[in-house]
A and B are shown apart, each in its own frame.
Chain A
Amino acid sequence: MEQARLYPRSPQRRPWRSAVLAVAFAALLGSASAQTLTMAMAAQPDTLDPQVTSATAAFQVAKSLYDTLVEVDQSGEIVPALAESYEVGDDSLSYTFHLVEATFHDGTTLDAADVVASLDRIRSPDTASPKASEFAAITSVEAVDDRTVVVHLSQPAPALLATLASGWGAILPSEKVASGHDFGNQPVGTGPFSFVSWQRDNAVTLAANPDYYQGAPQVDEVVIRFVPDSAVQLQGLLTGEFHVIDTVAAADQAQIESNPSLALVRDPSGLALVAALNTRRDHLADARVRQAFNLAVDSQTVLDVAYGGGTPIGTFMEAGSPWMPASIEPFAYDPEAARALLDEAGWDGSVTLDMALPQPYENHIQAGQMIQDYLRDVGVSAEIRIVEWGVWLSDVYGGAHDFDVTVIGHTGKLDPTGRLDGYGTEADNYPGFDDPEVAAWLEAGARETDVETRRELYANVLTRLHEGAPFIYLGTPDRVHARSADLQGFWITPMLDSFDFRTARFE
């Protein structure tokens, strides 16, 4: 076999043969080294600074760049992360965290000062974090020594660990925090992957961090591509361009399941999909009317057609939640009973409900149209008004609450306070549900440290929310994603919905 030469002996002497050999050699080398995992996701982060945003897409990417003191494991439990252990003070007014040994992507070592700097930064008005109120109970953060941090609280905060386990609890390097570093475009953390580049509207490229404290990742590179169209995502999966996709249309599920080189993964999500009813309005003030609406809508069909499958719920908590009282059943689909209940409540058939639906969410729009149809069957007419997202946030969800019915999903929260806060005081929740007892229970629950007592308090709240029905409860949709069959170890964080590539590998 002729040796591949760097330069051919002479131009006419079949240089292509050496070229072919060179390429083959390089390919052989190449396949043993750089393993790139490519993922397609529909939304795009607005920033990679976890302390200035509330967008899920941002945290989905940031998950690989940063770590938190505690984190959520695959079964949904909060377990130690950067804090290898912690103690709660006797009066529940302080948490002491003991840090692991870890390094940031810029080479600096993790120490208590970093935790102090990070927690101070997210609480600072200069940062203006949308999540700052979750840290409200913190009065100060103190570095006892290099590896020990104490967080002091003004009142007991059982939800604190949940906050610290969320994406916005990310720990940033203190030197960079002090120098005003632009984390949004140049993220630096302790995460399993370090930042390489971000081409807006195209892709984020991450490189494996060999010094990751939980062990180096098994892929060398992760490329996350932004592909809003589920048909294009699927096409990329089929051609092998993408190894994982995060959006699977209901109608495509069968095709993926029957394909042996692909895998469809269906997990329960943490979402609570609801059609909110504005209880402030006269015609919606009677709880019987709202219960009737729940009976009129076949929530399982809505889940299947508009959201690709899911589990109905009977109250304002995601299906399968440990906080969901066993006694609460989802409302049955019973149009007869609905009509009877409407009659009993004296429903005025001349009223047309104003249904405001948020424009960017096609599945909510679909669900809204289905609900309109179901309501029509029991003699209730509704008119649909598609509303732009900014308008929805400021006029429907907030502001004057200009709607009768609206459809939206409430993301999973690690602690019930995240979901239920404000749902007893009319001014603090968008359906206007007002119940002083519920408000009292919620306030007590936010401070209660005994798990059983808390469970009871929230069970009472949820029972009231079932009976009072300020929502038409649709259900918890399945979180469906698809991957190539040879990709193992990729998982989506329960409740938080972020992407975890730490154990991802190709078999």
Chain B
Amino acid sequence: MGRAVFGAALFAVVLLATLLAPVLRPVDPLEPNYRATYAGISAEHPLGTDRLGRDVLSRALAGGRVSLSIALSATALTILLGGSLGALAAAVGGAVDTVLSRAFDSLLAFPGFLLVLLVVAILGGGAAQTVLALGVAGSPVYFRLARAYARSELRSEYVTAALALGASRPRQVLRHALPNFAGSILVQGASTAATFLLVEASLSYLGLGVPLPTPSWGNVLQESRAFLTRQPWAAVGPGLFLAAASLSFQFVADGMRDRLDRRS
């Protein structure tokens, strides 16, 4: 439990830092300064400057906003997509169930990162495309989860009774199954968010995600790679933020998983 709290706290810190960045650190992340390129750590630039003289710290914070919003919206999308289709498959059953299950199984059989890479590349790269690709790639897990829950709920006694009394199946699924999967979904979701954050960073690093000059944690790291030896803080700094955010999600997931295990 302690870990979940720590994780949540860490996440809150990172989130607030990135959201409040324009206030706390009013330096334009896009503002170049050709006389101060590759500058090291200083009072004016706590993480130095990059190859165009832009402040690395504000780029890291601004990049955080972009990366976090992509990761979180992709997580929401994937839960919605997988979850709703899973519940649907369970509620309706029959051919719909078989087709959907097969489709998601096929999706699962595909090597994850490569799938996202190809989809984003084919869609032409970009933030929205990344969200879409991640949302689709992550959905099989939630499909299975939602379907399993919905099916077990539908078999439970009180639902059987309700159905016998004439209630509709989908409504029963919604009313009864939903609150129970909420816990599992939160745990899985936190873990998914951590993964998506890292995948988005990897995609942007490869040049397929968020396009420059808009900073995201991934493309800022990619830019810094060229002068890794000259100004290492431009690489280490944003990476620390990324690691902190990812770690906080993992801690939340772990902590909540322990708590749920203990309860059941």
User: Are B34 and A229 neighbours in the complex by a CB distance under 8 Å?
Assistant: no
**Chain A minimum-CB-distance residue to B219:** A386
Q: Does A411 contact B (CB under 8 A)?
A: no
Q: Does A230 contact B (CB under 8 A)?
A: yes
**Chain B minimum-CB-distance residue to A359:** B207
User: Are A231 and B212 neighbours in the complex by a CB distance under 8 Å?
Assistant: no
User: Are B227 and A369 neighbours in the complex by a CB distance under 8 Å?
Assistant: no
- Binary interface profile of B, 45-71, with partner A (CB < 8 Å = 1, else 0)? 000000110000000000000000000
User: Are B229 and A231 neighbours in the complex by a CB distance under 8 Å?
Assistant: yes
Q: Does B213 contact A (CB under 8 A)?
A: yes
User: Are B227 and A251 neighbours in the complex by a CB distance under 8 Å?
Assistant: yes
Q: Does B99 contact A (CB under 8 A)?
A: no
Name A251's contact: one of B124, B125, B212, B230 (CB within 8 Å). Answer: B230
Collect the chain A residues with CB atoms within 8 Å of residue B230's CB: 231, 251
Q: Bound complex: CA of A369 vs CA of B34, how far in Å?
A: 11
**Chain B minimum-CB-distance residue to A387:** B211
Q: Does A301 contact B (CB under 8 A)?
A: yes
Q: Does B226 contact A (CB under 8 A)?
A: yes
Q: Does A366 contact B (CB under 8 A)?
A: yes
Name A369's contact: one of B211, B213, B226, B229 (CB within 8 Å). Answer: B213
CB distance from A367 to the nearest CB of B (A): 10
User: Are B34 and A386 neighbours in the complex by a CB distance under 8 Å?
Assistant: no
CB distance from A194 to the nearest CB of B (A): 36
Collect the chain B residues with CB atoms within 8 Å of residue A305's CB: 34, 37, 52
Q: Bound complex: CA of A301 vs CA of B37, how far in Å?
A: 13
Number of A residues near B (Cβ < 8 Å) is 19
User: Are A373 and B211 neighbours in the complex by a CB distance under 8 Å?
Assistant: no
User: Are A365 and B212 neighbours in the complex by a CB distance under 8 Å?
Assistant: yes
Collect the chain B residues with CB atoms within 8 Å of residue A251's CB: 37-38, 51, 227, 230
User: Are A366 and B52 neighbours in the complex by a CB distance under 8 Å?
Assistant: yes
Q: Bound complex: CA of A231 vs CA of B235, how far in Å?
A: 15
Q: Does A385 contact B (CB under 8 A)?
A: yes
Name A231's contact: one of B37, B124, B228 (CB within 8 Å). Answer: B228
- Binary interface profile of B, 210-251, with partner A (CB < 8 Å = 1, else 0)? 011100000000000011111000000000000000000000
- Binary interface profile of B, 102-145, with partner A (CB < 8 Å = 1, else 0)? 00000000000000000000001100000000000000000000
User: Are B34 and A370 neighbours in the complex by a CB distance under 8 Å?
Assistant: yes
Q: Does A439 contact B (CB under 8 A)?
A: no
Collect the chain B residues with CB atoms within 8 Å of residue A301's CB: 34
Q: Does B32 contact A (CB under 8 A)?
A: yes
Q: Does A388 contact B (CB under 8 A)?
A: yes
Q: Does A362 contact B (CB under 8 A)?
A: yes
Q: Bound complex: CA of A229 vs CA of B230, how far in Å?
A: 13
Q: Does A384 contact B (CB under 8 A)?
A: yes
User: Are B51 and A366 neighbours in the complex by a CB distance under 8 Å?
Assistant: yes
Known: A251-B230, A386-B211, A386-B212. A369 touches B32 (CB 8 A): yes
Q: Bound complex: CA of A365 vs CA of B38, how far in Å?
A: 17
User: Are A373 and B32 neighbours in the complex by a CB distance under 8 Å?
Assistant: yes
Q: Chain B binding site: helix, strand, loop or mixed by DSSP?
A: loop
Q: Bound complex: CA of A385 vs CA of B230, how far in Å?
A: 28
Q: Bound complex: CA of A231 vs CA of B37, how far in Å?
A: 17
**Chain A minimum-CB-distance residue to B121:** A388
Q: Bound complex: CA of A386 vs CA of B213, how far in Å?
A: 8
Q: Bound complex: CA of A305 vs CA of B33, how far in Å?
A: 10
User: Are A369 and B37 neighbours in the complex by a CB distance under 8 Å?
Assistant: no
Q: Bound complex: CA of A83 vs CA of B166, how far in Å?
A: 97
In the complex, chain A residues 220-259 whose Cβ is within 8 Å of any chain B Cβ: 229-231, 249, 251
Collect the chain A residues with CB atoms within 8 Å of residue B34's CB: 301, 305, 370
**Chain A minimum-CB-distance residue to B230:** A251
Name B52's contact: one of A231, A359, A369 (CB within 8 Å). Answer: A369
Collect the chain A residues with CB atoms within 8 Å of residue B52's CB: 305, 366, 369-370
In the complex, chain B residues 164-208 whose Cβ is within 8 Å of any chain A Cβ: 207
Collect the chain A residues with CB atoms within 8 Å of residue B124's CB: 388, 391
Collect the chain B residues with CB atoms within 8 Å of residue A249's CB: 226-227
CB distance from B32 to the nearest CB of A (A): 6
**Chain B minimum-CB-distance residue to A365:** B212
Collect the chain B residues with CB atoms within 8 Å of residue A366's CB: 51-52
- Binary interface profile of A, 355-394, with partner B (CB < 8 Å = 1, else 0)? 0000100100110011001000000000011101001000
Collect the chain B residues with CB atoms within 8 Å of residue A230's CB: 226
In the complex, chain A residues 4-34 whose Cβ is within 8 Å of any chain B Cβ: none
CB distance from B53 to the nearest CB of A (A): 9
**Chain A minimum-CB-distance residue to B231:** A251
Q: Bound complex: CA of A391 vs CA of B52, how far in Å?
A: 26
Q: Bound complex: CA of A386 vs CA of B32, how far in Å?
A: 18
CB distance from A374 to the nearest CB of B (A): 10
In the complex, chain B residues 2-45 whose Cβ is within 8 Å of any chain A Cβ: 32, 34, 37-38
Collect the chain A residues with CB atoms within 8 Å of residue B226's CB: 229-231, 249, 362
Collect the chain B residues with CB atoms within 8 Å of residue A231's CB: 226-230
Q: Bound complex: CA of A249 vs CA of B51, how far in Å?
A: 11
User: Are B125 and A388 neighbours in the complex by a CB distance under 8 Å?
Assistant: yes
Known: A231-B228, A251-B37, A359-B207. A370 touches B212 (CB 8 A): no
Q: Bound complex: CA of A366 vs CA of B38, how far in Å?
A: 14
Q: Bound complex: CA of A480 vs CA of B181, how far in Å?
A: 63
Q: Bound complex: CA of A36 vs CA of B227, how far in Å?
A: 30
Collect the chain B residues with CB atoms within 8 Å of residue A369's CB: 32, 52, 213
User: Are A385 and B211 neighbours in the complex by a CB distance under 8 Å?
Assistant: yes
Collect the chain A residues with CB atoms within 8 Å of residue B125's CB: 388
CB distance from A253 to the nearest CB of B (A): 13
CB distance from A327 to the nearest CB of B (A): 31
User: Are A370 and B32 neighbours in the complex by a CB distance under 8 Å?
Assistant: yes
- Binary interface profile of A, 68-91, with partner B (CB < 8 Å = 1, else 0)? 000000000000000000000000
CB distance from A470 to the nearest CB of B (A): 25
User: Are A384 and B32 neighbours in the complex by a CB distance under 8 Å?
Assistant: no
CB distance from A20 to the nearest CB of B (A): 38
Collect the chain A residues with CB atoms within 8 Å of residue B227's CB: 231, 249, 251
Collect the chain A residues with CB atoms within 8 Å of residue B228's CB: 231
CB distance from B120 to the nearest CB of A (A): 12
CB distance from B147 to the nearest CB of A (A): 39
- Binary interface profile of A, 91-108, with partner B (CB < 8 Å = 1, else 0)? 000000000000000000
Q: Which residues of A contact B (CB under 8 A)?
A: 229-231, 249, 251, 301, 305, 359, 362, 365-366, 369-370, 373, 384-386, 388, 391
Interface CB pairs A-B, < 8 A, 14:
A229-B226, A231-B229, A231-B230, A249-B226, A251-B37, A301-B34, A369-B213, A370-B32, A370-B52, A373-B32, A385-B211, A386-B212, A388-B124, A388-B125
| Shortest beta-carbon contacts, A-B, top 6 | A386-B211, A305-B34, A386-B212, A231-B229, A384-B213, A373-B32
6 more A-B contacts (CB under 8 A) besides A230-B226, A384-B212?
A: A231-B227, A231-B230, A251-B37, A362-B226, A369-B213, A388-B125
